[in-house]
Amino acid sequence: MERQINAALVAQLPAHVWKQAREIACDLHDEPFYGKSPELLAYACRGEARDGTTYFYRVATAYVIADGVRFTLAMLFVQPQDTVAELLASLLRRLRILGASVRRLYLDKGFCTIPVFRNLAASPWPVIIACPVRGKNGGTKALCHGRGSYRTQHTFRSAEYGEFTATLAVIRTRTTHKRRRQGPVHWCWLVYVLFRCDDLALRKVQRWYRRRFGIESSYRCMRKVRAWTTSRNPALRFLLIALGFLLVNLWQELRWRFCQVIRRRHRYLDAGRFTLQRLASFLCRAIEAIYGMGAFIEADIRPPPPKSVIY
Residue 107's pLDDT is 92
pLDDT of 274-294, one tens digit each? 999 999 999 999 999 999 888
SS3 136: coil
Please give the pLDDT value at position 295. Answer: 83
Condensed to tens digits (0 to 9), the pLDDT of residues 237-263 reads: 999 999 999 999 999 989 888 888 887
Domain 2-258 has CATH 3.90.350: yes
Radius of gyration of the chain (CA): 24
Q: What is the pLDDT of residues 194-207, one digit of tens each?
A: 999 888 888 888 88
Q: Residue 178's pLDDT is what?
A: 57
Q: What is the mean pLDDT of the chain?
A: 87
Residue 29: Cβ within 10 Å count = 20
Tell me the pLDDT band of 123, cut-offs 50, 70 and 90: confident
**Backbone phi, then psi, for 299, in 5-degree steps?**
-115, 135
Task: Using the CB atoms, write b or e for 63-82: b if 16+ within 10 Å.
Answer: bbbbeebbbbbbbbbbeeee
Burial (0-12, 13-18, 19+ Cβ within 10 Å), 41? middle
Rounded mean pLDDT, 163-185: 76
- What is the helix, strand, coil percentage profile of the chain, to 5? 35, 30, 35
Which of 124, 125, 115, 107 has the alpha carbon at shortest distance from 193? 107
Residue 75, amino acid? M
Higher pLDDT, 272 or 266: 272
Q: Which pLDDT does position 127 carry in this prediction? A: 92
What is the arithmetic mean of pLDDT over 113-121? 92
Domain boundaries, given as residue ranges, for the chain = 2-258
pLDDT of residue 180: 52
Answer yes or no: are the C-beta atoms of 196 and 129 closer than 8 Å.
no
Reduce the secondary structure of 222-233 to three states and give it as a string. HHHHCCCCCCCC
What does pTM read for this prediction?
Answer: 0.84
